[in-house]
Amino acid sequence: MKRDFLKATGREIGENALSCRVWVDGKEAGALYQTAVCHRRAWIRDPELSSAAVGIANARGKARVEIEPLDGPVKTALVRPLSLEIEARAEDGRIVFEAPSPSSLTVEFDGRYDRVLHLFLNEPDEKKPDPASPGVRYFGPGVHKDVIVDIKDGETVYLDDGCLLYGVLRCDGAKDFTIAGHGALCGSVYDRWRDTVVPVDLTRAKNFRVRDITILDPAAWTFNLYLCEDGEVDRVRIVSARSNSDGLTFQTCRRIAARNCFVRSWDDCLVVKGYDGDVDDILFENCVLWTDLAQSLEVGYETRADVMKNIRFRKITVLHNFHKPVMSVHNSDRAAVRDVLFEDVTVEDAEMGEGDGTPWLLELTTTASQWSRTAERGTIDGVTVRRVKVLGGKRPGVRIVPAGKDAPIDHVRISGLEVLGEKITSFDQLPAELSPLTGPSVGFAGDGE
């Protein structure tokens, strides 16, 4: 990758260019941005972009949040995730509520998902490094343009409060490093097809940690791990809008855990792929998602590894899913995919099927796709779907389709499924597409066992 691959387009994020003002515990939030989002429900090379407000602020414990809309009066506001049970009220022209810190909140005004504020609350960072210390790459408050950081062994890259960095953080073979801070990394000035900048792009990294940063409007994938091992990703927040702007993408990795993250994406939110090596021990936990296009929780489609196993999605909240499945394993190459867990998944608004999407809550396939590169079809063995709730939206279905007897889908067990208040214990209760090859090991736990 050459140094001159970044070419500014002039479409920058404007600081404080919001349709609202925000106060947290009486202090006006300084890190306020308008970032790109996309409401189109079909892939296109260069989609028309809309915008959403993003605020980043520090607070301890329970914080008082005040929002003053500037683009017209607001009658009501809904704060998600709903599990936080936050009640917003109108006071003197402002929307007011109390919220825990740290948390990743989405405030929807007047019942409109196209008029929102994504508010990311952080506790003050007690682990902030000394900028003058050896091995610290420090970026302070303010705008930093055209920055490429090649991370070395043992380094700490720190984006401090109020930092807005246009560029990329990358490595090839680095170990024992940290990326941290409450600042933001942004790709809005880069062209999707000429520059194709991945803001966090880590290859062959080992024993690393990424925490607390926010990533806005990437010009490609957002956060890419390739051939990485022994990594932790904690409280990373992502809002993406352009073509193929997947959120957290883990390719051919082992022993990676991502916790407490927020992802709003215009492609897969959380995705695991396998290329030229095996995949093992991948965990996504306690994450909040908003899926404008494609899948929320995805294994595939690229599955060229020998084995992809022990992949877990736990304690996931999906605020909105508009397009394709919430949970999916698409084995379109030759891998043996096994031991995949979807547990404690809550879908607040299930709108799958909009545009050219599909109406599935769960989809498992071993069929070929446009991304297939191997003639041999793979297998899926051992998928557990446990305690999944759909709170609102449309009534979704299930699709399970193996490519043939040599590419089976076995040992799929569903339990604790609840859709729009109804407990589901049989495929007959939902729209379902089940292949005649679907065997007795695929079904609801307790049914016939």
Mean pLDDT of 370-393: 97
How big is the CA angle at 152 (ends 146 and 154), to the nearest 5 degrees? 130
d(CA 245, CA 265): 6
List, in order, residues 6 or more apart from 281 with CB less than 8 Å away.
Answer: 254, 255, 256, 310
| CA-to-CA dists, residue 406 to 317, 411, 438, angstroms | 35, 15, 12
Give the containing element (helix H, strand E) for 298.
strand 297-303
Q: Which CATH number applies to 3-122?
A: 2.60.350.10
Beta strands in 252-278 (DSSP E): 254-259, 262-265, 270-274
Q: Which residue did the predictor score with more confidence, 435 or 17?
A: 435
278 vs 148: CA distance, rounded Å: 30
Range 209-218 average pLDDT: 98
Strand partners, 251: 226, 273
Distances in Å between the alpha carbon of 228 and those of 181, 223, 254, 369, 371? 22, 13, 7, 26, 22
Per-residue pLDDT at 368 exceeds 50: yes
What secondary structure does DSSP assign to 162-196, as a single string? Answer: TEEEEEEEEEES-BS-EEE-S-EEE-TTS-TTTT-
Q: Select from 1.20.1250.20, 3.40.50.300, 2.160.20.10, 3.30.1060.10 the CATH code of 136-444.
A: 2.160.20.10
Which amino acid belongs to residue 444?
F
Mean pLDDT to the nearest integer, 385-410: 97
Task: Parse the chain into domains and list their residue ranges.
Answer: 3-122, 136-444
CA torsion sign for 129, 131, 136, 138 is: positive
pLDDT at residue 2, as a whole number: 36
Is the full-model pTM beyond 0.85?
yes
Mean pLDDT of the chain: 94
Tell me the two tokens of residue 365: 């396939």
How does pLDDT run across 223-272, given as a tens digit for each residue?
999 999 999 999 999 999 999 999 999 999 999 999 999 999 999 999 99
C-alpha torsion sign, points 291, 293, 295, 301: negative
Please list the residues that pair with 164 across neighbouring strands.
143, 184
Instruction: Work out the average pLDDT over 52-62.
Output: 96
Q: How many helices and strands (H and E) does the chain possess?
A: 0, 39
Question: Number of C-alpha atoms within 13 angstroms, CB side, residue 313?
Answer: 29
Handedness of CA 192, 194, 195, 201 (dihedral sign): positive
pLDDT at 30: 83
Amino acid at residue number 359: P
User: Mean pLDDT, to the nearest integer, of 430-436?
Assistant: 95
178: amino acid identity, one letter: T
pLDDT digits (tens, 9 = 90+) for 123-143: 999 989 999 999 999 999 999
3-class DSSP assignment, residue 3: helix
Which pairing describes strands 270-274 and 223-226: parallel, antiparallel, or unpaired? unpaired
Residue-wise pLDDT tens digits, 9-36: 556 775 444 578 999 999 999 899 999 9
Average pLDDT (416-439) is 96
